[in-house]
Every structure is written in C-alpha cells, then in structure tokens.
A and B are shown apart, each in its own frame.
Chain A
C-alpha cells in the first residue's frame, strides 16, 4: 500500500509558466514533508520542506503548500526554467520512535520545462 502518492508520472510546462506538482499521503502520523529533485545519473537533492504545523513554505521560486485535512501537498515553481527539468520526489516522515526520521517516497513526477 503506497503511503505517498504522486499520481502524475510526468508534466510538461512552458518556460516562464507555473509548474504545480502534487502529492497525496495516507498516513496521518506523517508530520514533515519534503521535496527532492533528481537529475539523471545523480542522487536526489533536497529542495524544500514543510512541517505539519505550517500550511505554506516559500524559498525563492519554490513554494510548498500543505493541506492537512485533505492529506495533500503541492510544489509550485514560478517561473519555471529549463534547468528545472528533472524528476521530483515527494517524501514524508514521522518520528519512527528511535529519534530517526525515515522517509517514505512517492514514485516521482518527471517535469519537462519547454523553452
């Protein structure tokens, strides 16, 4: 059973427009959410995160929105740039009880920004 779902495997957006990547989760114990970006042949790199006590976090062109009641989060990229073309993973974590925050990942969404 997938606890973190990214239902869109791919997304194409024109350069300069907004990219919106969506993520849904089922485990109500998750209290911290992260987005990672992955280029081919490289490991995922951390992009932005949000705690469950917030509903929005902004960092430059990237904003993450969290709707706890809907168990839904989204990543907005404005304006989109060709260098943003990558696979974006949504991840969620909650205290496993050992003081370590193990991550559960979605399958990823491949974003293509068209010049």
Chain B
C-alpha cells in the first residue's frame, strides 16, 4: 500500500482567496487523482494529475478554478482559486495501486470558506 499525506489537514478561508493543497506519496506513482466530497454528496473526481503533462479535468471542473501541478512522481498540488462558500468541502488526493484496481486515499483536507 501507499502512504499519502496531505497539507493542510484543514483550513478556514475567506471568500475570494485561494488555497493550495499539497499531496505527498511515499512511492513513485503514475496516476494521482483529486477528489472532492461535499457534505451529503458522493466522492467526486475533480481531475487526474499526470506527471509531465496537463491534468485531465472531469465535467464541471476547469483548470482556472482548480489548477493542478504534478512536478514529479511523488507529489501534486491542487489549488482552489477565488473561493466561495460553495467550495467548502473535503478534498482528497488518491493514487492507484501498482497492481490491481484499488486506490489509496490521503487523509483529506477539510476546507471551510466563509
């Protein structure tokens, strides 16, 4: 299994500001994913972060709002830009297991936007 850490674990932010969430994995992985879990909702995939290329965004998510960096095989960042209260959510990064279809998740970042 992979050990994944996220920073910050939680934050309270003002409307209109931006927050960058960091995800660190203890092993090299090809695919990293960013998910959002809004209260009472499913875990929703935001984008897939590939090393050396632009992230692939799911329908309803755009790069200007959620820019992603993937500078190497163990690290990625997700920025939530120009935040509004609707962005209050838990943001999770995850990686695929090298064998099989299982995914491993970070502990999540709980974001509250006032």
Those of A9-61 within 8 Å (CB) of chain B: 32, 34, 36, 41-46, 49
When A42-B107, A46-B104 are in contact, do A105 and B96 touch as well, CB less than 8 Å? Answer: no
A29 → chain B closest CB, angstroms: 14
Question: Is B96's CB under 8 angstroms from A43's CB?
Answer: no
When A43-B4, A43-B108 are in contact, do A101 and B101 touch as well, CB less than 8 Å? Answer: yes
Query: B41 to chain A: which residues have CB within 8 Å?
Result: 107
Which residue of chain B has the shortest Cβ distance to A94 in the bound complex? B101
A99 → chain B closest CB, angstroms: 9
The CA of A105 and the CA of B38, in the complex, are separated in Å by 13
Residues of A contacting B: mostly = strand
Give the bracket for the number of chain A residues in contact with chain B: 20 to 34
Interface residues on chain B, number (Cβ under 8 Å) = 23
A106 → chain B closest CB, angstroms: 6
Residue A93, interface by CB 8 Å: yes
Which residue of chain A has the shortest Cβ distance to B4 in the bound complex? A43
Query: B40 to chain A: which residues have CB within 8 Å?
Result: 107
* Residue from the list B42, B48, B106 in contact with A102, Cβ < 8 A: B48
Those of A63-115 within 8 Å (CB) of chain B: 89, 91, 93, 100-108
Please name 19 pairs of A and B residues whose Cβ atoms are closer than 8 Å in the assembled complex, sorted by A: A36-B105, A41-B108, A42-B107, A43-B106, A43-B108, A44-B43, A46-B102, A46-B104, A49-B101, A89-B42, A89-B43, A93-B101, A100-B96, A101-B96, A102-B33, A103-B45, A105-B42, A105-B43, A107-B40
Residues of A within 8 A of B (CB): 2, 4, 32, 34, 36, 41-46, 49, 89, 91, 93, 100-108
